[in-house]
Amino acid sequence: MLAPKIVLITGANRGIGLEFVKQFLQLKSPPKHLFACSRQPETAKDQSSIDSANAFVASKVQGDGVNLRINNAGIGVLSNIHEANREVMAKVYEINAIGPLMVVKSFLPLLKQAASVDPAAPLSCNRAAIINISTSLASISGNTSIGFHGITSGFYGYRASKAALNMITTNMSLDLKNDGILATAIHPGWVKTDMGGPNALIDTVTSVTRVMAVMGKLQGEEGTGKFYNGDNGELLGW
Ligand SMILES: NC(=O)c1ccc[n+]([C@@H]2O[C@H](COP(=O)([O-])OP(=O)(O)OC[C@H]3O[C@@H](n4cnc5c(N)ncnc54)[C@H](OP(=O)(O)O)[C@@H]3O)[C@@H](O)[C@H]2O)c1
């Protein structure tokens, strides 16, 4: 059963992130602390904003650490080969891949603290976990057609940045499993949000219900370093 004591979610002011907040608060055992993070665009451009978020959380959790960190914030860019310039590529990598790595790096002591509360417990989202919200569009083996539901963009930046996030996820899973921290990537489905648009297949309630069901089942070494399709709970090809 999914029941992490302390949860942090990025991009929590709208879309999928906001629905995570709602559904965590509706759990049978809701978190003791839930940090719903959103950026302040004018100040969220450097490491100091990550460090101050870290210091704020540490002061609130008082030694309990952070059990579950969901890196949900991201941008989708519909760049085809002609539109994929240096600026667009760098921006999407910065937000979708480099950002999640930097925040996890900063929050590692808090994740380790949570993991050490019960050193004998198997890896899980209740003990200590990083969930990176990825996309099926990042699957290299699944990339067999340039279009997506009628959108004829190659999604160069979006696909590549999320594939980088997937690689970062597997690195983290290998690096951190001996510290008791799980790291897995999950695709939330094609969801009706600002990013997914009105033609998407599912709403945020359905998406988050499914993703949280996947999270609740992640257990032990089997649950870490994976790329799940939240739509059906099955593994996606890298
Ligand atoms: N919707 C889909 O169909 C779909 C499919 C596959 C994967 N995903 C993934 O699911 C996650 C959530 O997407 P969504 O559909 O909920 O998108 P959304 O409605 O566009 O929301 C994106 C969230 O990310 C935040 N964000 C964007 N740029 C940021 C930055 N530079 N720094 C900090 N926060 C930033 C936004 O904050 P602001 O309000 O401040 O901009 C917002 O909270 C993303 O990682 C996305 O790639 C979505």
Where does ligand 1 bind, in terms of residues with CB under 6 Å? Answer: 11, 13-17, 38-39, 44, 72-76, 95, 133, 135, 187-188, 190-191, 193-196, 200
Q: Which of 93, 101, 195 to mutate to test the pocket of ligand 1 (most atoms within 8 A of CB)?
A: 195
Cα angle vertex 93, ends 89, 97, to 5°? 165
Walk me through the domains of the chain, giving residue ranges and CATH numbers.
Answer: 6-235 (3.40.50.720)
How far is the centre of ligand 1, averaged over its atoms, from the C-alpha of 158 (Å)? 12
Ligand 1 atom nearest 74 alpha carbon: 45
pLDDT tens track, the chain, 238 positions: 999 999 999 999 999 999 999 999 999 999 999 999 998 766 656 778 888 889 999 999 989 999 999 999 999 988 999 999 999 999 999 999 999 999 999 999 999 999 999 999 999 999 999 999 999 999 999 998 877 777 778 899 999 999 999 999 999 999 999 999 999 999 999 999 999 999 999 999 999 999 999 999 999 999 999 999 999 999 999 9
Contact 7, 26 (CB under 8 A): no
How far is the centre of ligand 1, averaged over its atoms, from the C-alpha of 119 (Å)? 34
How far is the centre of ligand 1, averaged over its atoms, from the C-alpha of 73 (Å)? 4
Enter the pTM of the model.
0.97
What backbone torsions phi and psi does residue 165 show, to the nearest 5 degrees? -60, -40
Ligand 1 atom nearest 76 alpha carbon: 47
Measuring from atom 20 of ligand 1, which residue has the nearest CA?
A: 195
